[in-house]
Structure 1
């Protein structure tokens, strides 16, 4: 008999997982991509929240790439926040992270731009990083200081964009905030084994997303953990969930950044699972974690 899967005990996060299971089946990746997106959209709508007071947002385009700009009632910095959403590179949109982006912008007192990058399998790698990079270059060209933020797959894109900008000697990125990022770790080691059946995301799910994206193995833009050097990168804040197969990706990347002399803030949320951002209004642990994310963003933007 196999050992039971590790699981959190915090009441709020257990309630969150129960709601998630009612909207998004455990084996969702076995369904069609269209069905996955329908389930995910319904799940995101369930956790939707009213935007902060006086928040202004508007949709636009950078080249052919849809974006959404958020402008809070109080702007305290000229830095721009660039947000890349999660969803395994397969699901997610401007709508899926709408309230999350608005709340981060409001907390940081900064304008935020969210990117509706192309999704797999219709568009394989590097379409996603190319879209993000086009928007990043657009913002930097306007002499903006930029803070890159991403969760899960978006954390992968954000970390990759930082490396890509460094390789091309682009200046102006003042911080990177990576929220339970997927960074190319070994699926047969560490938390990918320990948390293989964790609630919310399994190692089998991660393998599915890798297969569908078809990013090249060992490419540091696609798998930042494979980068030969992380020296000279902007400061980082990385937060991971304990009950998450992706946990060690963030742990190891934070350690490598420190070794390279990069300023790093790191948090491991002890009772959290993957995608805990959506639980920020119902879980004490998620609320604390989200507050730490917002504080890091505000500090980098300032």
Structure 2
């Protein structure tokens, strides 16, 4: 267990909305609990952020965030977490608004299809369709995702590299990503009963998703050829079974010559993004994420274009 008072208060508040054994409940109940939890940690948007909702390909709901001051033409694509089972445009709404405002970039969030109603590769296909819209329009993109969304973001980069168009993605920011590590070793064993996410939860989400075990897009740690992937920022939480997925992926990217920044939050737990307004560690972690995304877009921390 962490010792930081802010993150402990966050965990106590989460427990009041989302029980530790939530995955044993029906899908409908899981989503009801998750929606209530997310609403509790959803402050108002920063001043000047404008949003609009629309459909891509007449079927994929997206939400676009435009801050009052744009510092870059690079687009941000945000893919939400939730184990591929829960989550929506509303669940990560304030997170997306604050990233767009901090970076000074237009951000698009994707409401991809969820399991178990839609199994793999439905989620990936939806995100890919939105990304390709940007690519076909000649836009440069930074893909961002947390947890399951981090998996999807990393998988999009692997897919783009396989197909020869990864140059359109100028960066990837992965927040406590699920990348397909061995559930019997490392942090999956050490943090099996960590607060907020357990190893058995991760196993449940994998089983619900039904992705083939040898699919490198579904499990990016399996990718054989990663040289040429976009620059990456990867941040993980110390008290999280997914921790070593991010550690291992960052190390592999570095060995392959990919520019990578790795950050481990020593007092954080899974889903700490929601604690950014009540935990010092989460506040610092969120600032680091926004700073890294700014760098990936070519904007320095002073809000100016990098040389």
Q: TM-score if structure 1 supplies the norm length?
A: 0.98
Name the SS of the counterpart of 1:290 in structure 2. helix
Is 1:114 the counterpart of 2:109? The answer is yes
Name the SS of the counterpart of 1:23 in structure 2. coil
What CA distance in whole angstroms lies between the structure 2 residues aligned with 1:145 and 1:300? 11
For residue 299 of structure 1, what is the aligned residue in structure 2? 295
Per-residue CA deviations over 1:27-77 (Å, capped at 9, x if unaligned) read 000000000000000000001101000110000111111100000000010
Q: CA deviation at 1:172?
A: 1.1
Which structure 2 residues correspond to residues 41-52 of structure 1 after superposition, within 5 A? 41-52=35-46
Is 1:139 the counterpart of 2:142? The answer is no
Per-residue CA deviations over 1:73-127 (Å, capped at 9, x if unaligned) read 0001000000000000000000000000000000000000000000000000000
What CA distance in whole angstroms lies between the structure 2 residues aligned with 1:88 and 1:168? 26
Per-residue CA deviations over 1:225-283 (Å, capped at 9, x if unaligned) read 00112100110000000000000000000000000000000000000000000000000
For residue 81 of structure 1, what is the aligned residue in structure 2? 76
For residue 209 of structure 1, what is the aligned residue in structure 2? 205
Of residues 289, 292, 295, the one that matches 2:285 is 289
Is 1:62 the counterpart of 2:62? The answer is no
What CA distance in whole angstroms lies between the structure 2 residues aligned with 1:159 and 1:248? 15
Is 1:154 the counterpart of 2:134? The answer is no
Q: CA deviation at 1:168?
A: 1.2
For residue 186 of structure 2, what is the aligned residue in structure 1? 190
Deviating 4+ runs (over 4 angstroms): none
What CA distance in whole angstroms lies between the structure 2 residues aligned with 1:130 and 1:8? 37
Q: CA deviation at 1:167?
A: 1.1
Is 1:35 the counterpart of 2:29? The answer is yes
What CA distance in whole angstroms lies between the structure 1 residues aligned with 2:291 and 2:61? 27
What CA distance in whole angstroms lies between the structure 1 residues aligned with 2:153 and 2:88? 16
Is 1:129 the counterpart of 2:124? The answer is yes
What CA distance in whole angstroms lies between the structure 2 residues aligned with 1:67 and 1:52? 20
Q: RMSD of the alignment, in Å?
A: 0.5
Length, aligned pairs only: 296
Is 1:169 the counterpart of 2:164? The answer is yes
Is 1:243 the counterpart of 2:239? The answer is yes
Of residues 8, 13, 20, the one that matches 1:19 is 13
Gaps (5+ residues) in structure 2?
299-307
What CA distance in whole angstroms lies between the structure 1 residues aligned with 2:206 and 2:116? 11
What CA distance in whole angstroms lies between the structure 1 residues aligned with 2:123 and 2:109? 13
Which structure 2 residues correspond to residues 219-234 of structure 1 after superposition, within 5 A? 219-234=215-230
For residue 95 of structure 2, what is the aligned residue in structure 1? 100
